[in-house]
Structure 1
Amino acid sequence: MKKIVSAIMVSFLIFLSACSSEGSSGGETDSKTLKIGALFPLSGGLALLGEESFRGAELAIEYANKNGGVAGGKQIELVKGDAVDADAAQAEANRLINQENIKTIVGSFSSSIAFAASEVAERSGVLYWELGAVADTVTDRKYKYVLRTNPPASYFSKVHLDFIKEVVTKKLGKELGDIKVAIAHEDSSYGTTIADEASKLAKKEGINIITNQGYSAGTNDLSSVILNIKKAEPDVLIAVSYLNDSVLLARQSEELGLKVPVFIGSGGGHTMTDFKDAMGEKANGILNVDFPQYQINKDFTPGIEEFLKLYKEKYGTEPRSGHSLANFMGMKVALDVIDKVGEIDPDKLKEEALKYTAEAGTTVTGWGVEFDKESGQNQLSKPYVHQWIDGELKTVWPEDVAVEEPQIVNQ
């Protein structure tokens, strides 16, 4: 009988221990470790910039861990999920939440992935931090458990049109109403959102959009798009592309004799070193609206040189785009908030994030931080205008981040 009682007591104690473990603060493996989920496309068609984005978050975690951790010395463990598409994003988000007991997730580069993963997080009461996807719909839903540190597509569109108003008109010697603008965009939520927002803003500003050409990013022929643009004879072409279609658009434009005085890319392909490597000298002169890049006013982006050093030490190469920098900055904001709260509690983190502020010119991207209380969007993030000049991508506008004036020739 004593043996039976002892066995029952042991079983009961094991059961209590298991319950205690299951009920512990979410995202903790032990008292000195906090777990954060990371959802990025690390394989498949989006892996190029998905991996680059993940590297930024990874570097921020490693930097924090090497410098004492957060919340009184706790180390951060980053638990990865490979979200190759929206379906995988949902599955991986569920796995992180239900199997890994993750209570906060960062991601994701792709708008479709962010949209799907944040749906799962919202239903589960898990705080989702978007560090790189731009579709406005990610934050327009005004979810309780979604925060975004990077600028959305509508901010990109505004910078496009502000640059046309404040710089292009002067360089071309034309009135704003006389400037003819064409848009060519890949037709996923990324390209469509930027193109649609640009069209809406242009109408308000009295800017003439003479043609808006959508296409699949996977196409191998853009000749019809280019010929339609050529026929319209624009002063400005806004192109929203990933890498492969940005190269295809540039090459076929050259072959078909499309010459536009002002060519402005938008994110994605046109800022990557791979674009410059593919186009050689023909990349020179092409402008691009995107996340902060690396030829930039370093007084306005404190810490950027240290980031470049950390990146090269770990990965043995220079960054391929500004996506890693944007994710590094966003991850640091998340870590600052976690440090203040001291634990991974979604409600406490959200409450603290809404009080968190930083002035423009004090972060590694130059962005300020102030989250909108309803949508969770950082209202002080903004894209900048860059240009390929002598084989280097230099920031040219606005003036507080520029290292050179934009080179626009009135043809």
Structure 2
Amino acid sequence: MLKKNNFKTVTLGSLVLATAIGGLATQAVADVKIGALYPLSGGLALLGEESYRGLELAVDQINENGGVQGETVVLETGDAVDNNQAIGEARRLISQEEVKAIFGTFSSARAIAASQVAQLSQVPYFELGAVADDVTERDLSYVFRTNPAASNFAETIINMLVESIAPELGIAPSELRIGIIHEDSNYGSSVAKHQRTFAEQEGLNIVMEEHYPASTVDMSSIVLSLQDNEVDIVLQTSYQDDSVLFLRQANERGYQPKAIIGAGGGYSMTPTANAVGHEVIDGVYDVDFTQFAINPDFAPGVEEFVDAYVERFGESPRSGHSLMNYVGGHAILSELDQASDLSATTIRDAMTGIDIPVGTTAAGIGIKFGENNQNERAIMMGMQWQDGELVTVYPEEASVADIRTHQ
């Protein structure tokens, strides 16, 4: 069983220290091959690489502290540039590289495709970043997910709107006119479905919903529809390019709703803010994985994670995807260090031993696998762009700033 105190107190800062003072960790004597399957090229490469960096840092720390069962963990990478390549790379990692497990993948569509291959081969597949429902709702016994799912996105968005944003606006939540827009893959469609469900439970007024391909190059018709429907609150589930496109075209048309709440990495990335301009994104909300302006008491180790990231990669983290992949990867590898062996069935069965409370990891999430091998202690954070920084504003115990409204 994973020792919770180990996970909390062994920080990434110790990785740098151990290296500097000459290898205090136990020396590993062999290799444990782990597949790392991410979109490392193509349109999703930025967040794919950011996610992969988090897993790299987890592996580095594990190896500096003796590896897994005394053996060095080696990452064998696969480039999931599209669904077909994700399938092919999963097959290669399993049959040619003979990996013990596959970690990934950020993209929901890629994860769904590749994890099916792993299940058929009875190789454990650990999803650290994709959120679509279907990742863990296909009754696949070898597929696990540590990160929050689509329902967590939607629930946090609606709760933050009802409990925090509407009161700050001085408007009853039921009086707000809500528009849902989303990219049309498993990811966007899953989040939108849950947004409708939670909104209806709260008696909210959804006046329009539109979807679009993430590769779209023009969202002016959607902006016009939002204006025509007098939408007060826009909920967008998106990747980076479509987030940038919507914010730019909304600004160009002078559309200023009372709130824009983004879901996903597109809204949480500094490159997005730079692309649209900080004066445009200021005040925009984002619900996503834990970012870095967060109460460290709620996310112990987050500051050390940032320090180690900068030390390793020479720049600050670009989004919280690296942090979420680090936390999930570290928890799983730590548990494998306690397993009796590294056979596929032992790895699968060992996951029941992970029992990490909320508020004790660098991302603030807990980890406990429940129904369908979904982490039942995964949570999202509510954030807002303020003065060029994405700061946590919800929930209160994790926040470092108050919500600002422009109305």
TM superposition score normalised by structure 2: 0.91
SS of the residue corresponding to residue 106 of structure 1 reads strand
User: C-alpha separation between the residues in 1 aligned to 2:65 and 2:77?
Assistant: 22
For the pair 1:267 / 2:261, whether they are aligned, the reply is no
Corresponding residue number in structure 2 for 1:332: 330
Q: Contact (CA 8 Å) 2:165, 2:403: kept in 1 or not?
A: no
Runs of 4+ in 1 over 3 A off after TM superposition: none
Query: Residue 140 of structure 1 aligns to a residue in which SS?
Result: coil
**Given that residues 34 and 343 in structure 1 are in contact (C-alpha distance below 8 angstroms), is that contact kept between their aligned partners in structure 2?**
no
1:75 match:
72
Within 2, Cα distance between the matches of 1:46 and 1:366? 26
Q: CA RMSD in A?
A: 1.3
Aligned mates of 1:144, 1:232 — CA distance in 2:
45
Are 2:390 and 1:368 equivalent residues in the alignment? no
Task: Establish whether residue 167 from structure 1 lines up as the match of residue 164 from structure 2.
Answer: yes
CA distance in 1, matches of 2:90, 2:205: 43
The answer to whether structure 1 residue 350 and structure 2 residue 348 are counterparts is yes
- In percent, how many aligned pairs have the same letter? 45
Question: Separation in 1 of the partners of 2:197 and 2:87?
Answer: 32
Amino acid at match of 2:171: K
Q: Which amino acid letter does the alignment assign opposite residue 341 of structure 2?
A: E
The residue number in structure 2 matching 1:233 is 230
Residue 42 of structure 1 is aligned with which of 40, 45, 65? 40
Q: Contact conserved, 2:393 with 2:400, CA < 8 A, in 1? A: yes
Summarize the alignment of residues 190-209 of structure 1 with structure 2, pairs less than 5 Å apart.
190-209=187-206
User: 5 Å matches for 1:161-310?
Assistant: 161-278=158-275, 279-310=277-308
Give the AA of the match of 2:285. Answer: L
1:99-140 residue CA offsets vs partner (Å, 9 max, x unmatched): 111231100000011001110010011000000000011001
Q: Distance in 2 between matches of 1:280 and 1:342?
A: 52
Whether the 8 Å contact between 1:108 and 1:130 is mirrored in structure 2 is yes
Q: CA deviation at 1:342?
A: 4.8
Give the deviation of 1:142 after TM superposition.
Answer: 2.2
What are the ranges of 5 or more consecutive residues in structure 1 without an aligned counterpart?
Answer: 1-29
SS at match of 2:224: helix
Q: Give the distance between the partners of 1:286 and 1:177, measured in 2 at CA.
A: 21
The answer as to whether partners of 2:393 and 2:401 remain within 8 angstroms in 1 is yes
Give the whole-Å Cα distance in 2 for the aligned partners of 1:140 and 1:329. Answer: 22
Is the deviation greater in 318-327 or in 97-106?
Answer: 97-106
Deviations 1:16-53 (A, max 9, x none): xxxxxxxxxxxxxx963211111001111111100110
- 1 CA distance for matches of 2:211 and 2:159? 23
Q: Say which SS state the counterpart of residue 157 (structure 1) adopts.
A: helix
Letter in 1 for 2:305: F
Whether the 8 Å CA contact 1:70–1:342 is kept in 2: the answer is: no
- Number of equivalences: 379
Checking the alignment, whether the CA contact within 8 Å between 1:104 and 1:344 is kept in structure 2 is no
Partner of 1:138: 135
Alpha-carbon contact 1:159-1:383 (below 8 Å) kept: yes
Q: Unmatched 5+ residue regions in structure 2?
A: 1-27
Q: Is the 8 A contact 2:143 2:373 kept in 1?
A: yes
